[in-house]
Structure 1
């Protein structure tokens, strides 16, 4: 009973914070922006960047993969952390030049006009709705198993809170609630590891580590899976919510520093998440991968502390969900409805954004029910982001563009090759390489060929 009280108290606090820190203006621009961008504190930057990048795919999904298979996904994520440093050094200063942009479509429109806005908008909406669905799936498991609440009721309880404060407050509410969620996450996840290892005994835990899950051997299975995971995660960068966070501060040096801090915390966080999966495998190998972590928490956590742990897990899930829900509704209004219907009245745009927020949040539940693994859902939906938009976006930031027609063609080829690989070639060739990597490479190849062809034409 006390655990339920702790969890529901947290949900009410989040709702209260989200409502209190809402935008006070009846204006779409203020709904889509933070309004305090020039002096955003480093704590807020670190917290909101970290919170928007950690979700159920990390806290639950990585533990699932370690429990069921190996630590390949963990290694892949850690090996791609240097890419965050490169982004902080080279990409952040160029993105911040677009300060004032409300969506990725705004940025792409400055280079490719309406086609750029449309393609960026499509990609942003698909990936954000998919990531939202992943968080819904995880939160349903948390409530269903640990608190013995029906799955549908669990989703309604947790996501009605998210929908309310994102609908009322916009980006400002999301960012300030991220601070509380950040602390809840970084405190809760390590506690699971500490109590789990204490229960097993540190020497027993080390001696009985499953070799095939964490050590490379002559079979090369773990090595191959790690290479495939690293290649996939390497192109899964610059999500819409991440770009939105970059644009809240005009000082790129402060934002870059925040990313360095976030990356360090993230690496430690991954170690704890992986350890939790290994502890669950050691203690309860008979459990299904999807229920291993909830079962572990239910069995080893004392009453009272279990409630705080659940709060930490919910914080990880809800911090990503509110970001994705917010960016989806803003993208729908700014990149589609406004240009198509020539809407400019800020009050009307705000009303539409809030209605869209409710509809999108409610409909994402359907997607969540069609994937058993949350990581697989995340990797799949990102195939509609990186293969479509990452290549032209990054090159445009460095002043390299191609014609609108070729940009459209490269994006279509990128996402088509991703789908073709995932549906047919990957199984046929028995390869673990992710379609998101293949699609992005196809887009890159076509983009570079177009650049070289244009230079050749100009020379001749």
Structure 2
């Protein structure tokens, strides 16, 4: 399109007003964190301090619950907009609609089952439901599921686009900043930073969407400038490939961030209502990001897909709003990165280390530092491919952990610790084998997620059959 370039030096487009707005937003976020921590009641009780560190003392109100839950879910904005740039509304189906179903299942069928356990983490809950070995295995799953690899990449890409330099260097600088404020104040710092980040990120994507419509027009413009597959639900992909994302979305039912917010909520009612409200906000956010990225494809068809949305938006928006949008992108990434970084550190120190170290704040800080280092190494390994990170880590959770946990909800007390362990490990073995082995013909077309689910299901069936045989 006239006036728009396929690639630009973004720094050269940023005006002094943009930098002022950007800096003001960062300062406002810092002020919110300071305010949140000023509300903390001082106590010398180490156990109370640790509960506040992990769950904000189970005092998360509805507004705080909604803002932190919504903000936490969108750190991979470059991954989402890349899918929309390449495949159109297929992004809304795979990264939106499937997930709404999972959120509502959680709200209506799971919340009331978990509050009575008074658990601190998801592995802690699983340990109370099945046994200590199940808790340790699920902690390993969760550690790899919440390692903020994709969000470390997103932050590195954002900083690289803004300031240049190597991706590894930018990821390192960004992580250092996040580690510092994540360790101070714990979940309280994360939640209060999310308040500002929630408003800024939602306003940022809305500005791009609304300005695109006013500048270029509506659907007629998109249909005239995009491939027809961009308006097909499957986006040119097969049904089996698309449904893999649906199964990965169901891994929300074993997502430790979801559970942490629900454990921290002041009541079951708050958690349920908060998830329903959040789902409505996610719907609107996904509309904005999906169509915003589609406008980017229509205007900049030759742009680099991973950063096309950013390249498009900084050329579209006027001074001031451009700075707000950039602050929104940063807020979107940070709000997820800090949550995942903090929770991964919790998994290491609370769920995996010996009990005697469990409630020590200093040990938790070491866990956060270790998590940051591991995430940086793996982000470098995945070479900036956010979609591959989601697909790889999401497959293991959905294939190996989801079914045993759901079975435990539906049939309490019917799965023992050893049975949980056996079925999950069987799923791990088959998922890993299917992913790496050279498979012939038809079998090579079957995603490893399906193989893992079948193996885990067979493990559960074998365990229940043997248990029934022995009881008779």
Query: What is the aligned partner in structure 1 of residue 377 from structure 2?
Result: 366
Q: Name 2:56's counterpart in structure 1.
A: 34
Mean Cα deviation higher: 314-323 or 438-447 = 438-447
- What is the aligned partner in structure 1 of residue 69 from structure 2? 49
Shift of the alpha carbon at 1:445? Answer: 3.2
Change (3 A) 1:139 1:432: farther
Instruction: Name the TM-score, length of structure 1 as normaliser.
Output: 0.88
Shift of 1:365: 1.6
How much does 1:457 deviate?
Answer: 3.0
Note the C-alpha offset of 1:79.
3.6
Deviation at 1:123, TM superposition (A): 1.0
Is the counterpart of residue 127 in structure 1 residue 145 in structure 2? yes
Of residues 95, 104, 107, the one that matches 1:88 is: 107
Give CA deviations for 1:289-309 in whole Å, capped at 9, x if unaligned.
112112112322222211111
| Structural mapping, 1:302-341, within 5 Å | 302-339=318-355
Cα deviation, residue 107, structure 1: 1.0
The unaligned stretches of length 5 or more in structure 2 are 1-15
What is the alpha-carbon distance in structure 2 between the residues aligned to residue 235 and residue 356 of structure 1?
24
> What value does the CA root-mean-square deviation take over the aligned residues?
2.6
d(CA) in 2 for partners of 1:64, 1:432 = 24
Q: Does 1:17 align with 2:35?
A: no
Tell me the equivalent position of 2:308. 292
- C-alpha change, 1:220 and 1:325, in structure 2 (3 Å) is closer
Residue of 174, 179, 189 corresponding to 2:190? 174
How far does residue 361 in structure 1 lie from its aligned partner after superposition?
Answer: 1.7
Q: 1:275 to 1:30 in 2, by over 3 A?
A: same
Distance 1:194 1:432 in 2: 41
2: CA distance, partners of 1:138 / 1:291 = 10
* 2:120 aligned residue (102, 106, 126): 102
Tell me by how many angstroms 1:235 deviates: 3.8
Correspondent of 1:137 among 144, 153, 158: 153
- The separation in 1 between residues aligned to 2:433 and 2:75, in whole angstroms, is 28
For 2:283 and 2:440, how far apart are their aligned partners in 1?
32
In the TM superposition, residue 220 of structure 1 has moved relative to its aligned partner by 6.5
Distance 1:225 1:195, change over 3 A: farther
Show the counterpart of 1:254: 270
Give the direction of change, closer, same or farther, for the CA distance of 1:426–1:73 in structure 2 (3 Å limit).
farther
| CA displacement at 1:41 relative to structure 2 | 2.5
Identify the residue that residue 208 of structure 1 maps to in structure 2. 225
Could you tell me whether the CA contact under 8 Å between 1:380 and 1:436 is conserved in 2?
Answer: no
The equivalences for 1:49-88 within 5 A come to 49-56=69-76, 59-76=77-94, 77-88=96-107
2:131 aligned residue (113, 134, 141): 113
Query: Which residue number in structure 1 is paired with residue 11 of structure 2?
Result: none
Map Cα deviations across residues 316-370 of structure 1 (whole Å, 9 max, x no partner).
Answer: 211111111111111211122233xx336x4xx1111012212322331221123
Deviation at 1:263, TM superposition (A): 1.0
Match of 1:375 in 2: 387
Tell me how far 1:80 sits from its aligned partner. Answer: 4.2
For this pair of structures, how many residues does the alignment match?
Answer: 446
Per-residue deviation, 1:9: 3.7
Are 1:343 and 2:357 counterparts? yes
Instruction: Flag the 1:205–1:68 CA change in 2: closer, same or farther, 3 A.
Output: closer
Unaligned runs of 5+ in 1: none
Q: Secondary structure at the match of 1:384?
A: helix
The answer to whether residue 386 in structure 2 is matched with residue 387 in structure 1 is no
3-state SS of the aligned residue for 2:57?
coil
Q: Deviations over 1:157-183 (max 9, x none)?
A: 433332112101111111222221111
Say whether the 8 Å CA contact 2:22–2:324 is kept in structure 1. yes
1:281 aligns with 2:283: no
Q: CA deviation at 1:92?
A: 0.6
Matches within 5 A, 1:149-188: 151-188=167-204
The TM-score, its normalising length taken from structure 2, stands at 0.86
Q: How does 1:199-278 map to 2 (within 5 A)?
A: 199-202=215-218, 203-215=220-232, 221=237, 223=239, 225-278=241-294
